[in-house]
Amino acid sequence: PDRIVVGTTSTKAEEVMQNLYEPFVAQGAKLFVMDSRSAEMTKYAANSFLATKISFMNEMANLCELTGADVDAVRLGVGSDDRIGAKFMYPGIGYGGSCFPKDVKALYKTAKDHNYDFQILNAVEKVNDSQKLKLVEKIQNHYKGNLKGKRFALWGLAFKPDTDDIREAPALEIIKQIIEAGASVVAYDPEAIPNTKKYFGDKSGLDFVEDEYKALSDADALIIATEWSQFRAPDFELVKSKLKSATIFDGRNLYNPATIKAKGFHYESIGREVV
């Protein structure tokens, strides 16, 4: 860890914890000791602030689409400011997992319990909920509101790469909305398929495959919901040959729009031009 926060008012407990974490401190980690309430608030505040950065950049991405700006250029320019930093500045289809959603809700409830209206956190949560459906909105617009009978390949189910965790994952909402619109989904994820099967049960219109390219067969378009490293450099010719139409809706901005346009794809991402 880059820092360790210990909440205690016990001198003995503080001494024990300092001894326990000494190997980390010796390697440069910072150790902060404070009262338990402040430690709890620090944890909630840290994750809520990072969630706020994500929701802010997602709002910026949506505005960039309307104004013709490129959110990647904006992200780099803003993130280069040392006061802001480049981390958690990537737009996409919202945050998920356990910590960010849980801690935003917990901090908001703490404020509410003390009769304080924490307006920013309310907005962060609303933005995140709507951002999870941003790709569905793009898909609906592309097909002029008619998804009946369409088949979509979905790459990525986990809320982030290198995990099987699907808690609050945007992919789950995308699947629900697309199937409700009368389409079907064939999904692939390197780790999260078992958990997703448990989540949905025997849901009509949803199938799973054990290879990302198998998901593409007879699909009208590809949807990317998680930025697994193996999705970053696919065989684009194979992707094009398997899809009915060379169309990609990318919720994680994995590809350069100009490059993928040159490969013959219709490509829609977050906060960047449609090509």
Mind telling me the catalytic residues? 99
Helices 119-131, 99-113: crossing angle, 10 deg rounding = 150
Bridge partners, residue 186, by sequence: 153, 207
Report whether 73 contacts 140 (CB < 8 A).
no
Cβ burial, residue 115 (10 Å; 0-12/13-18/19+): exposed
DSSP structure class, residue 206 = E
For 135, the enclosing helix (H) or strand (E) is helix 134-142
Q: Which of 62, 94, 232, 240 is nearest to 153 (CA)?
A: 240
Q: For residue 209, with 0-12 CB atoms within 10 Å meaning exposed, 13-18 middle and 19 or more buried, which class applies?
A: middle
CA distances 198 to 142, 166, 192, Å, are 31, 11, 10
What single-letter DSSP state applies at residue 224? E
Contact 222, 249 (CB under 8 A): yes
Look up residue 258 and give its amino acid: A
Kindly report the backbone phi and psi dihedral angles of residue 247, in degrees, each rounded to the nearest multiple of 5, phi listed first.
-130, 130
Which two structure tokens, joined as six digits, stand for 256?
């350069």
Beta bridge partners of 184: 151
**Structure tokens, 122:** 């309310």
